[in-house]
Each structure stands twice: as C-alpha cells, then as structure tokens.
Amino acid sequence: MRIIVAGGDGFCGWPTALYLSEKGHDVSIIDNGVRRKIDNELHSNSLTPIASLEERVAKWEELTGKHITVYDGDLVHYDFLKEILRKEKPDAFVHFAEQRSAPYSMIDREHAVYTQENNVTGTLNVLFGIKEVVPDCHLIKLGTLGEYGTPNIPIEEGYIEIKHKGRKDTLPFPKQPGSFYHLSKVHDSHNIMFACKIWGIRATDLNQGIVYGLETEETQLDPVLTNRLDYDGVFGTALNRFIIQSTVGYDLTVYGKGGQTRGFLNIKDTVRCIEIAAENPADFGEFRVFNQFTEQFSVADLAEKVQNVAKEEGFETKIANLENPRVELEEHFYQAENTKLKDLGLEPHLLTEDVIRDVLRTVIKHKDRVIEKNILPSVKWK
Ligand code: NAD
Ligand code: USQ
C-alpha cells in the first residue's frame, strides 16, 4: 500500500513509519518539525538524543534499502497538502500530526488557540484533501481515549445503544474531555464523522490510550533510528515519566490521590494497531472507532510497579502525592472496552516487570541529559 504518515517525526509516528516500511509498504512522511521547535520554546529535550529526520531516513535506507520520502511542511497549509496527495496518491493517510500535550494546551489562551487551530484545521484540510484528490483513501486518525473522560458507566468503542422514552438508537458515546487538547480531538471526531456521512469518506478514529516505552525492533537497529522520549512536566506521560524519575533520584510525581485510571499500551502495539487498521479499511461512508489500548491502570498502581523494579535495579524511590495541577477525578469507576483491534489480530505486549526494566535500563544510558527543573509539573488547569 502507499501510506502517508503525517507526524512521522514524532514519538508514535517515527516507529510507525519504520514498521510500515519494513512490512513492505511504500511510506512517505509529512512533518513540519514543530515538536522539535516546542522543545526549544520549553527549554526542554528528548531524553534520548534524536537525529534529524533527514539523517533518520538516510540511515534507514542505508540499513534496509527501503526508501521513505520526507515532506517538510504543515497540514494547516492546504495547497502544500493537496500537492502531496496528488503526488503520492495514498491508499491510507495515517494522521498523527497534532499538538498532543494536554498541559501545553492549558498554558494560556495562545497555547489553547494554537492547539485547536493546528489540530482542527489540519484535520479539516486532510478531510477536504481526501474528498477532492484521493476519495478512495482510508483516513486513519489518531484520536484519544480521553475523549470519553471518566464516566460512571463502562466506555464503549465509539457508539452506545440508548433507549429513551420508548425509542432506541445507536449514538456516539458521550464525550467529556479534560483539556483543550482533548477537546480538539473531540472536535476532530465530529468533523470526521460528518465528512464520512456527507461525502462517503472512509475513516478509522483510533482512540488511543497513553503510550509507554520507546523502542521497536526497527528503531533499535541503530542509534540514529532511536525514538524520542519525553519526560518533562508538559510532554512526558505518566509511566515513562515515573521510570525516568526513578533513575535520577526524584520522587515519583503522582498527582493527588493517584486513583486516576487510564488505558495504556506499549509503543510496539501502537505500530501494529496502525497496520491492522490499514489492512482492514473502514467501508466508504463509515466512521469507525476503535479504542486503542491494551490494559488499564491507576497512576498510583504504575508508580508502585516502577518503585518495585527500580528498587531491584538499585534505585530507592519514594512516591510523592503532589497537589494535582489538573482538574480531574482522582478516584472513579473506569472500565473501557477494547475488543475490536484484538478481534482483528492484535496480540498485546503487556506491562510486565521485565518491560519496565527494559525501558529503565535504556533510560539509564541517557539520564545525564535530564534537565531536572523540567521534571515537576508547571502548568495548572485553574
Ligand atoms: P509528537 O508530538 O511526538 O508527534 C507529533 C508530530 O506531528 C511531531 O513530529 C510534530 O512536529 C508533527 N506535527 C504537529 N502538527 C503538525 C502540523 N500541523 N503539520 C505537520 N506536522 C505536524 O506526538 P506523539 O506522541 O507521537 O502523538 C502522535 C499522535 O497520537 C497525536 O495525534 C496524539 O494526540 C496521539 N496520541 C498520542 C499518545 C501518546 O501517549 N503519545 C496517546 C494517545 C494519542
Ligand atoms: N499524571 C500524574 N503524574 C504525572 C503525569 C501524569 O499523576 O507525572 C496523571 C495525570 O494527572 C492524568 C494521568 O496521569 O490523570 C495521565 O496523564 P498523562 O500526562 O500521562 O497523559 P494525558 O495528559 O492524558 O495525555 C497523554 C498524551 C496524549 C494522549 C493521552 C491519552 O500526551 O497525547 O491523547 O495521553 S488518554 O490519556 O487516554 O487520553
């Protein structure tokens, strides 16, 4: 298949581009490099040293003979996007290219506006581009499990059957997102659903949980192919952050009571889920939704797991219950459905002590790069 990976320089996009290329697909990447610029804005960095995108794809070609074309540009620029769609004529468009940090979207008005303009306009452009240039192309869009929030009922995959006043219908599952970032994903989902309905576009919305780990078989082939790894209070995510904190002598930063429960998955499963979605496209006019995670944990559970493994590796770590910078439930019911990807062949890499140990040992090699003042959360919701 001819596949465009938008956001292919990022944490999920880079390993996905390599994985799909390895599987024999003709892959091209669109990325405007904004994630690297945001590191400069925040005076932050990836824990792992990352090569430029040009160096990355050159090394991949040198090692495997497989070519990945790179387009340096912005999805928000419609003429640029249309030109690439005309050139590439993709069978699938994998869309990772969004501002993905909840805290970043909550810094101030400018950051909230940037997040929603970047994400919503970029996705609208992709929808119009598919309609006008490549109507057969399957859109594989990264949504987020956080679109649903934490309702007091089990979370279904996209839709719920509701009986009301003697009548029955299958309707989109209610959305209660917890940041301007998560809201941007809800807006995207609505726009995609509408475009499928009116234009007959085929789309899969992957409501992904929190991704942990960093390496896949492909990124491990050479240090130049190494994936980025975020640990700071703005872009770092729960489990990866805890592992890194344990190696530099920081208390694990559990926010509030730590009963916040979320869906998680290994980066090795992210890349496979994209392949599954690509190989099993949605029908024309179908807005298909998969919940893309493999296990659910509370943040307190995760901190404890990391504490145990870190201890075995010689790091004595304490768990801090910091004042929660976010507005969210800290103790709640949580049960999300995740059968559709497994039914299509996903075999999850589950979170074992060995998996945590593996990431921890990789992290140790780069722990001198940690900028300590970036570890504590700096953005408040209120
Ligand atoms: P990332 O920030 O590492 O990667 C996103 C990439 O997209 C970056 O390389 C950035 O430069 C690029 N980009 C952003 N806006 C762009 C634009 N307008 N035009 C072109 N390129 C643009 O993020 P990630 O962690 O790889 O996440 C990828 C996607 O998966 C996001 O949509 C995110 O919301 C979703 N997701 C991520 C996680 C996670 O835990 N990382 C979990 C669930 C969903
Ligand atoms: N948390 C802590 N301590 C930390 C970091 C986070 O207790 O040091 C808590 C948060 O308060 C929250 C939970 O852990 O309750 C998850 O926070 P996170 O920063 O790990 O993840 P989140 O902000 O939800 O965002 C991440 C990605 C985003 C993706 C989302 C998937 O950055 O792109 O969409 O995970 S989900 O959470 O399923 O919506």
What's the confidence (pLDDT) of residue 281?
98
Homologous superfamily of the 2-374 domain (CATH): NAD(P)-binding Rossmann-like Domain (3.40.50.720)
H-helix or E-strand containing 287? strand 287-292
Indicate which residue of 141, 185, 305, 340 is catalytic: 185
Three-state DSSP at 234 gives coil
- Phi, psi at 202, each rounded to 5°: -105, 125
CB 38 within 8 A of CB 115: no
Distance CA 119, CA 75 (A): 9
Residue type at 347 in one-letter notation: E
Q: Ligand 1: does its nearest atom lie under 6 Å from the Cβ of 237?
A: yes
For 124-260, strand residue ranges (E) read 138-144, 159-164, 167-172, 202-208, 210-212, 252-255
Question: Catalytic annotation on 185?
Answer: yes
What's the confidence (pLDDT) of residue 145?
98
Q: How far is the CA of 10 from the centre of ligand 1 (A)?
A: 6
Distance CA 332, CA 122 (A): 34
CB 54 within 8 A of CB 29: no
Distance CA 220, CA 224 (A): 9
What's the confidence (pLDDT) of residue 253?
98
CB 258 within 8 A of CB 305: no
What is the Rg, in whole angstroms, of the alpha carbon atoms belonging to the chain? 20
Enumerate residues lining ligand 2, CB below 6 A.
100-102, 144-146, 182, 209-210, 237-238, 241, 253-255, 260, 262-263, 299, 326, 328
H-helix or E-strand containing 187? helix 180-199
Q: For residue 76, give the ligand 1 atom closest to its CA.
A: 18
What's the confidence (pLDDT) of residue 273?
98
| pLDDT beneath 50, residues of the chain | none
Q: Where are the domains of the chain?
A: 2-374
Distance CA 177, CA 124 (A): 20
Question: Catalytic annotation on 181?
Answer: yes
Residue-wise pLDDT for 285-317, tens only, equals: 999 999 999 999 999 999 999 999 999 999 999
Q: CA dihedral in degrees (131, 137, 142, 147; nearest 10)?
A: 50
CB neighbours of residue 5 within 10 Å: 32
Give the residue, by CA position, lying nearest to ligand 2 atom 26: 210
Q: How far is the CA of 239 from the centre of ligand 2 (A)?
A: 9
Residue-wise pLDDT for 13-46, tens only, equals: 999 999 999 999 999 999 999 999 999 999 999 9
Q: Which two tokens stand for residue 100?
A: 């993905």
Indicate which residue of 16, 48, 115, 144 is catalytic: 144
What's the confidence (pLDDT) of residue 61?
98
What's the confidence (pLDDT) of residue 249?
94
- Measured at the CA of 60, the angle between CA 59 and CA 64, to 5 degrees, comes to 120
| pTM exceeds cut of 0.95 | yes
Paired strand residues for 93: 4, 139
- Number of helices (H) and strands (E) in the chain: give both, helices first: 13, 14
Q: How far is the CA of 274 from the centre of ligand 2 (A)?
A: 21
CB 175 within 8 A of CB 187: no
Distance CA 201, CA 192 (A): 9
Q: How far is the CA of 356 from the centre of ligand 2 (A)?
A: 18
Give the residue, by CA position, lying nearest to ligand 1 atom 13: 97
What's the confidence (pLDDT) of residue 3?
99
Give the residue, by CA position, lying nearest to ligand 2 atom 23: 102
Dump the DSSP string for 10-38.
STTHHHHHHHHHHTT-EEEEEE--HHHHH
Closest ligand, as measured to the CA of 8? 1
Q: How far is the CA of 334 from the centre of ligand 1 (A)?
A: 25
Q: What distances in angstroms separate CA 176 from CA 7, 183, 218, 359, one per listed residue? A: 26, 8, 36, 32
User: Per residue in 100-138, is it b (16+ CB within 10 Å) or e — as a string?
Assistant: bbbbbbbbeeebbebbbebbbebbbbbbebbeebbeebb
